[in-house]
Amino acid sequence: MKNKLPWIPIVLTAAALAFLGLFLLLPLAAVFIEAFRKGIGPYFQTFADPYARSAVRLTLLVVLTAVPFNLIFGLAAAWAIAKFDFRGKGLLLTLIDLPFAVSPVVSGLLFVLLFGARGWLGPWLLEHDIKIIFAAPGIIMATMFVTFPFIARELIPLMQSQGTEEEQAAMVLGAGGWQIFRRITLPNIKWGLLYGIILCNARAIGEFGAVSVVSGHIRGQTTTIPLHIEILYNEYNFVGAFAMASLLTLLALLTLAVKSLVEWKTRNEQAAAVIGGIE
Amino acid sequence: MSIQITNISKTFGTFKALQNVSLTVSHGELVALLGPSGCGKTTLLRIIAGLESPDPGSGPVLFYEDDVSSQSVRQRRVGFVFQHYSLFRHMTIFENVAFGLNVRPRRYRLSKSQIRERVFSLLKLVQLERHADLYPSQLSGGQRQRVALVRSLAVEPKILLLDEPFGALDTKVRKELRHWLRRLHDEMSITSVFVTHDQEEALELADRIVVMNAGRIEQIGKPEEVYDNPANPFVFSFLGDVNILRSPFGSQSTQPSATASYIRPHDIEISKTALDTGSIQARILHVAAVGPTVKVELARLDTNESIQAEITRQIYKRLNITVGQMVFISLHNCRIFQ
């Protein structure tokens, strides 16, 4: 069909590009420009600061506990929902979505309400000398809660679309539960799973709201990278704040690159399956 | 007895998929479960395999006199071929066929070279040894079907269960695979049960046919028994084309009676003159002379009921009939049901 108004696509594309430039590329560039405003020396000095190092360490600890936890429970929840029928399945699905629906700040407050000094379990925790709120456990738990849906949500539709016939075939051939999972289910979902892990990981690193509420902002002890950035910014240490922010930005760019690679890989495999499937 | 099941019922919610079904299959038999979709034939097959459990209160499932009712699918060790083959899409054809051998507990597992030998001998049997390194998505439907079959045979089951084994294939491939399955079954000395909704497939392939409808068994018998002596109108109409005549033949009454006469099109004889007192007059409405037989549509002169007849090409040529012509028809093997 001949296009009667050739300028329309050009205008639309230009508008989209202008929007993207203004709201995505410009801030992205600004982060690095601000971070290097006083040169390379001050930029790297930010990371020599013990508080900054402690924030990076805490963030790594949070990610390394929250992501594996969500990996195991997300897989278990997706497996149960996609492959079995049971009462309360709808309720479970709603519960998995809950962290998406609730504001992260509210999630954080929930944990304070539960484990804080004046919370429901506060007195008991105090008695046994267990610190959760204003300590690393609280930050980890809040992050787990907020990032819980990512892996489960990614896997449920994938596993549902694949059905259970291959698992049944494996069962008839004599495979046990673990063998079926390792040899049939896992290979079929590996790319979806990796995609979920990447998203979960990105969110766990960057989570601010819920973590901010339970952290107490104790420098060198309970500040993660996003919280440390806030502190630096409030102290007018812009180079420091943007240097830390550039770290998160680089992580985000890396995540995007890996994500695109995974998407490209899945699309290729699906395309191969479709082309091969034509009889 | 290879398989013996007694009084099996199965309910899904409020839907009664099976109601008090009993069945016995002898060793080495090839039995077809035949019926329209939703009649419970696949459910019955899955209960035999252990993929579904029957309702409480159902009788036992016996394999060679052993009660396997409480055994899991894994323990029953049957071969099962799924309707859509369910090949493992991320494994090569070789890995698919070897799967059942590779997941055995280490004590019973064959060595790598023995597994290789077994898999290749099976692939040779279905002429797919050159495809061992391909993935299922690279094979045609018929080839996938053959892989699914040898995959289930690799673990040497005594009982082979097939769910609509040829359902997703085109007619030509279906017919080839049918003969091939029959040969394989005879060579392996195995007991096989297959589900189908295709009466031609059941009649051609099976030693015995179990005709099912609405969760019940309507008739069990050899193909010629169920075809020539159907137990009831359902079996009669399900096994082939049929004319259902409401008015008795030869009587002068044009009132529809409580009984109906069932007759197959090929049991209707067309002649130019009355053969006997049972012959009645009819007018030819339509002739379709394509294919191995000639299909003739007629209208009874007395009641105007429409009748389908099938005659051979030779008879058609000899009779030299044309549309609109008056002829006599007589019935052979007419069955009367309430």
Task: Report pLDDT for B251.
Answer: 54
CA dihedral A250, A253, A258, A261 (to 10 degrees): -150
Does residue A1 form part of some domain? no
> Per the domain annotation, does A194 fall within a domain?
yes
Tell me whether residue A90 is in a domain. Answer: yes
pLDDT tens readout for residues A188-211: 998 889 889 988 999 999 899 999
pTM above 0.90, yes or no: no
Percent of chain B with pLDDT over 90: 65
Q: What is the DSSP string of B56-106?
A: TT---EEETTEE-TTS-HHHH--EEE-TT----TTS-HHHHHHHHHHTS-G
* Residue A62: domain span: 50-266
Is this prediction's ipTM beyond 0.85?
no
Average pLDDT in the B239-258 region?
Answer: 71
A272/B104 CB distance under 8 A: no
Q: Which of A164, A172, A266, A274 to mutate to test the interface with B (most CBs of B within 10 A)?
A: A172
Q: Does B92 touch chain A (CB under 8 A)?
A: no
For residue B97, what is the nearest residue in chain A, using CA coordinates?
A173
* Position A31 in a domain: no
A170, A174, A279 ranked by CB distance to B140: nearest = A279
Percent of chain B with pLDDT over 70: 97
A173 is a domain residue: yes
Question: Would you call B89 an interface residue with chain A, using a CB distance cutoff of 8 Å?
Answer: yes
Query: How many Cα neighbours within 13 Å face the side chain of A63?
Result: 20
A187: chain B residues, CB-CB within 8 Å: 90
Query: Minimal Cα distance from A178: which residue of B?
Result: B103
Spell out which residues of chain A touch residue B159, defining contact as CB-CB under 8 Å.
none
CA distance B336 to chain A (A): 45
**Residue B52, Ramachandran bin (φ over 0: left; ψ between -120 and 50: alpha; else beta):** beta
Is residue A64's pLDDT more than 90? yes
> What is the distance in angstroms between the Cα of B57 and the nearest Cα belonging to chain A?
23
Which residues of chain A have a CB within 8 Å of the CB of B79? 172
In a domain, A229, yes or no: yes
Tell me B256's DSSP state: P
Which residue among A172, A174, A275 places its CB closest to the CB of B104?
A: A174
Which residues of A fall within a CB distance of 8 Å from B80?
A: 169, 172
Burial code (b: 16+ CB inside 10 Å, e: under 16) for B20-53 equals ebebebeeebbbbbbbeeebbbbbbbbbbbbbbe
At A145 the pLDDT is 93
Interval A173-199 mean pLDDT = 91
Whether the pLDDT of residue A274 is over 60: the answer is no
Q: How far is CA A113 from CA A116, A207, B131, B144, in A?
A: 6, 20, 63, 59
Looking at CA atoms only, how far is residue B101 from chain A in angstroms? 8
Confidence band, pLDDT 50/70/90 cuts, at residue A1? low
Number of domains in chain A: 1
- What is the CATH number for A76? 1.10.3720.10
Contact predicate B205/B182, CB 8 Å: yes
* Cβ–Cβ contact B104 with A under 8 A: yes
Radius of gyration from C-alpha coordinates of chain B: 25
- Among A165, A170, A172, whose Cβ lies nearest the Cβ of B49? A172
The answer to whether the CB atoms of A174 and B49 lie below 8 A apart is no
For A8-57, the pLDDT digits (tens) are 889 999 999 999 999 989 998 999 998 998 888 888 888 888 999 999 99
Q: What is the pLDDT of residue B207?
A: 96
Residues of A in contact with B51 (CB under 8 A): 168, 171-172
Amino acid at B105: P
Search chain A and give the residue with CA nearest B83.
A165
| Structure confidence by residue, pLDDT tens digits, B36-50 | 998 999 999 999 999
**Which pLDDT tens digit goes with each residue over B69-106?**
999 999 999 999 999 889 999 999 999 999 999 999 88
B90 to A187: CB separation less than 8 angstroms, yes or no: yes
Distances, alpha carbon B332 to alpha carbons A121, B89, B257, B267, B308, in Å: 89, 54, 20, 5, 14
Task: Give A101-115 pLDDT, tens digit per residue.
Answer: 999 999 999 999 988
Are the beta carbons of A172 and B89 separated by less than 8 Å?
no
Per-residue confidence band for A3, with pLDDT thresholds at 50, 70 and 90: low
Check A176 against B103: CB less than 8 A apart. yes
Q: B110: which DSSP letter?
A: P
Residue A270: pLDDT band with limits 50, 70, 90: low
Does the pLDDT at position A2 exceed 70?
Answer: no
pLDDT in tens, A227-247: 999 999 999 998 889 999 999
Question: What's the gap in Å between the CA of B187 and the closest CA on chain A?
Answer: 21
Count the Cβ atoms, other than its own, within 10 Å of residue B262.
20
Do A183 and B99 count as a contact with CB atoms less than 8 A apart?
yes
Enumerate the residues of chain B whose CB falls inside 8 A of the CB of residue A276.
135, 137-138
In a domain? residue A275: no
B187 or B25, higher pLDDT: B25
Size of interface A-B (CB pairs under 8 A): 67
Per-residue pLDDT tens digits for A112-169: 998 888 888 888 888 888 888 888 899 999 999 999 999 999 999 999 988 889 999 9
Query: Which residues in chain A are contacts of B141 at CB distance < 8 A?
Result: 279
- Chain B interface test: which of A173, A185, A189, A190 (most B C-beta within 10 Å): A173
Residue B145 has pLDDT above 50, yes or no: yes
Under an 8 Å CB criterion, which residues of A touch B? Answer: 165-166, 168-176, 179, 183-184, 187-188, 272-273, 275-277, 279
Query: Which segments of chain A does DSSP mark as H helices, in order?
Result: 7-20, 26-35, 40-48, 50-83, 89-101, 104-115, 122-127, 136-162, 165-172, 177-180, 186-206, 209-215, 225-234, 238-277
Interface test with A, best of B73, B93, B146, B170 (most A CBs within 10 A): B73
The per-residue pLDDT for B27 is 94
What is the structure's pLDDT at B273? Answer: 84
Contact: B99, A175; criterion CB under 8 Å: yes
Instruction: Give a yes or no: residue A237 inside a domain.
Output: yes
Spatial separation of the C-alpha atoms in residues A158 and A67, rounded to whole Å: 20
Give the per-residue pLDDT at B259. Answer: 80
Of A171, A273, A277, the CB nearest to B74: A171
Instruction: Give the B window 32-71 contacts with A, CB below 8 Å.
Output: 49, 51
pLDDT for A279 equals: 34
Contacts of B169 (CB under 8 A, 6+ apart): B141, B142, B145, B177
Place B226 in a pLDDT band, splitting at 50, 70 and 90: very high
